[in-house]
Amino acid sequence: MSLAAALARRGLACEVVEREPAWTTFGAGITLYPNGIRALGALGLADAVAAAGHPVTTVRTLDVTGRVLAESPGEFWADAGPTLAIHRGELQRVLVEAVDGLPVRLGATLTALAPAKAGVDVSFSDGTDDRYDVVVGADGIRSAVRELCFDDSPPRYVGQMYWRTSTTEPVVDTATLQFADNRFVALMPMGAGLTYLAFQVHSADPFDEPATGLIERLGEWFGDFAGPTAEALGAVGDQPVHFGPAEEIVRDVWRNGRVILIGDAAHACSPTLAQGGSLAVEDAVVLAELLASSPDLEGALDAFVARREPRARWVRERTDVHIGVLNSGGAGLAERWRETYAELAKPI
């Protein structure tokens, strides 16, 4: 949807194909650092997102007993504003409104892609076919476009298992991280009294959890955490819990003819740096800019990969550094964050 909005702003026609029969979203919250807000600003959406989210003005870190270890200011850039925490449903609402009036094909997937003269022939699961100048796979870490058109790169586990949910109670008044060795919890106010909760366990191998009883097992994993985590566990109630491994996609080939990958389809990484959404919106802004400004489509697609792949690779490598800091109890986290976001502040 970010790419569709970006293309529409530059007068380029497009069609959105979405596999779900209606706009739905999974998970609970998402954090958008200023580079993501800056990219949304290029789409004219920063104000709407800010109104629907909650600014991260302070980041508080605690030990397992609830003792405050440190407080540091949230990331703020003069050209973008503060970091924001927002419910995924609210972010999706803003994006759906941004593509209102554009062609959207819901409840369909791609079943075949074939190069054509000056374009790509596409077959859909609803039995229809069409031809497009360019096909963009923005379909996530398990991308169907990547599988159909590229040497596939299966998601790679990075040693983290996550539970994500939310509460309808304001458990904390500012972004809060609570640590124990190989475990941490993030609690983020999202506005409207909502609190986003992310629980992470470092594990050498991924593991499964039965779909039922996730809240009870969270208590087993994190029952020794005092303070806000204990309060949050008691406040989750019947909110859905999303559980799964943190994974990444490692590849530098994002283009095959006039088919190109963006976002998690090209460069998914662990949510440790909260950069997946922000990098995807950046991709959309840059791709639309290049397609609109170049008379040579192939050259524009090549330029996109050359411009974006090094940044995505750097974020993935930097994520590994931050994972090590989290697993060791969070010491030095604020300094690492400052270094990381000083780099991300550079133009996209």
How confident is the model over 56-72, as pLDDT tens digits?
999 999 999 999 999 99
List C-alpha distances in Å: 21 to 15, 25, 122, 124, 319.
16, 12, 19, 14, 34
pLDDT in tens, 265-292: 999 999 999 999 999 999 999 999 999 9
pLDDT at position 215: 86
Is residue 21 predicted with pLDDT exceeding 90? yes
Antiparallel, parallel or unpaired: β 242-248 and 156-167: antiparallel
Give the pLDDT confidence of 206-228 residue by residue, as tens digits.
Answer: 999 998 888 889 999 999 999 99
In the predicted model, is pLDDT for residue 247 greater than 90?
yes
Question: What's the pLDDT score for residue 213?
Answer: 85
Tokens of 35: 């580079």
Q: Is 66 exposed, middle or buried (0-12, 13-18, 19+ CB in 10 A)?
A: middle
Q: Around Cβ 345, how many Cβ atoms within 10 Å?
A: 16
- The pLDDT score that the predictor gives to residue 274 is 93
Q: Which tokens go with 186?
A: 């993030």
Decide if pLDDT at 240 tops 80. Answer: yes
330: pLDDT strictly greater than 80: no
Mean pLDDT of 147-160: 93
- Kindly report the pTM of this predicted structure: 0.95
pLDDT digits 0-9 by tens, 126-139: 999 999 999 999 99
**Mode of pairing for the β-strands spanning 84-87 and 54-55:** antiparallel
Mean pLDDT of the chain: 94
Residues found in the chain: 348
Q: pLDDT value at position 86?
A: 97
pLDDT at 308 exceeding the cut of 90: yes
pLDDT the model gives residue 253 = 95
Is 42 a residue whose pLDDT tops 90? Answer: yes
pLDDT for 239 beyond 90: no
pLDDT of residue 272: 92
Partners of residue 127 on adjacent β-strands:
none
**What pLDDT sits at residue 181?**
84
Q: CA-CA distance, 337 to 291, in Å (whole number)?
A: 33
Structure tokens, 298: 């192939």
What is the mean predicted confidence (pLDDT) over 286-312? 97
Task: Assign 3-class secondary structure to the chain.
Answer: CHHHHHHHHCCCCCCEEECCCCCCCCCCEEEECHHHHHHHHHCCCHHHHHHHCEECCEEEEECCCCCEEEEEECCEECCCEECEEEEHHHHHHHHHHHCCCCCEEECCCEEEEEEECCEEEEEECCCCEEEECCEEECCCCCCHHHHHHCCCCCCEEEEEEEEEEEECCCCCCCEEEEEECCEEEEEEEEECCEEEEEEEEECCCCCCCCCCCHHHHHHHHHCCCCCHHHHHHHHCCCCCCEEEEEEECCCCCCEECCEEECCHHHHCCCHHHCCHHHHHHHHHHHHHHHHHHCCCHHHHHHHHHHHHHHHHHHHHHHHHHHHHHHHCCCCCHHHHHHHHHHHHCCCC
Give domain 2-155+248-344's CATH superfamily: FAD/NAD(P)-binding domain (3.50.50.60)
Task: Find out whether 19 and 61 touch, Cβ atoms under 8 Å.
Answer: no
